[in-house]
Amino acid sequence: MNKKIVLEDLGRRDYKEVWDYQESLFKTVLDLKIKNRREETNLPTPNHFLFVEHPHVYTLGKSGDISNLLISEEQLKAKEATFYKINRGGDITYHGPGQVVGYPILDLENFFTDIHKYLRLLEETIIHTMAEYGLKAERSPGETGVWLDVGTPFARKICAMGVRASRWVTMHGFAFNVNADLGYFDNIVPCGIKEKAVTSLNVELGKAKVDEKEVKQKLLKHFSALFEAEFI
């Protein structure tokens, strides 16, 4: 089992460009798995982890409801935002500057074959990272992602998640609001969940800006510990 993960930080990139790149990595891993089974070989499958920041974009998952996008095409253009229907799970979400987005393209057969566990460990990575900033983040029953003050009128989401998996290979991932412009969330019903707020790490810490490089280092530390993996 190959527990090494190739890490790439892509900087700020267009959503569609990175989606296409994810698809190419995803296909490479899948094709190798199919070849191994057909030819009864055992070539190690690669794992990848992409960090990226997107320009303003809204994405709608396979099970999403387009009515959760609350603005027109003209208004999207005015806000310099784009919109895509995509092939992950989940409903609508927003990506934009100040958000740390992580896309693990893993062959889970290198780690464990359990999608539920995979999602819970992604959440745990964020929860442990936020604990380093003195914040108690948690899960909300029945709602994938990471939240604060669950079960109170002040519940708010700080990290959205949506993944796709085929033959135990994953793509898409998490979007962690670190220095995000929360005004852009007013244009959607985030993840299809009404009457619940969103927040960002800088808001919770009362800071103008949080060091995103430091946040990424903490995320990688906790991800590698939880998945017993090594980044290369």
Of 23-32, 63-72, 177-186, the range with the lowest mean pLDDT is 63-72
Known binding-site residues equal 88-95, 160-162, 173-175
Q: Residues 138-155: what's their mean pLDDT?
A: 93
Tell whether the model's pLDDT for residue 192 goes beyond 60.
no
The full 3-state SS of 170-221, as one line of letters, equals EEEEEEEECCCCHHHHHHECHHHCCCCEECCHHHHHCCCCCCHHHHHHHHHH
Of 156-165, 175-184, 187-196, the range with the lowest mean pLDDT is 187-196
Tell whether the model's pLDDT for residue 89 goes beyond 80.
no
* Segment holding 59, helix H or strand E: strand 57-60
Q: 215 or 162, which is more confident?
A: 215
Tell whether the model's pLDDT for residue 92 goes beyond 70.
yes
Q: Residues 205-217: what's their mean pLDDT?
A: 98
Q: Beta 57-60 vs 197-198: how paired, if at all?
A: unpaired
Residue 223: what pLDDT?
Answer: 98
Q: Are 60 and 89 in contact (CB under 8 A)?
A: no
Average pLDDT, rounded, for the chain:
94
pLDDT in tens, 108-118: 999 999 999 99
* Segment holding 100, helix H or strand E: strand 99-105
Q: Which of 50, 189, 191, 215 is catalytic?
A: 191
Q: Residues 164-182: what's their mean pLDDT?
A: 96
- In single-letter form, the type of residue at position 129 comes to T
Residue 190: what pLDDT?
Answer: 66
Residue 21: what pLDDT?
Answer: 98
Known binding-site residues for substrate equal 88-95, 160-162, 173-175
For residue 227, give the 3-state DSSP assignment: helix
Residue 194: what pLDDT?
Answer: 62
Ramachandran region, residue 124 (left: φ > 0; alpha: ψ -120 to 50; beta: rest): alpha
Q: Beta 169-177 vs 99-105: how paired, if at all?
A: antiparallel
Q: What is the rounded distance in angstroms from the CA atom of residue 89 to the CA atom of residue 218?
A: 26
Establish whether 191 is a catalytic residue.
Answer: yes
Q: Residues 139-152: what's their mean pLDDT?
A: 93
Q: 27 or 66, which is more confident?
A: 27
If pLDDT is split at 50, 70 and 90, which confidence band does 62 have?
confident
pTM comes to: 0.94
* Domains located in the chain, CATH noted: 4-231 (3.30.930.10)
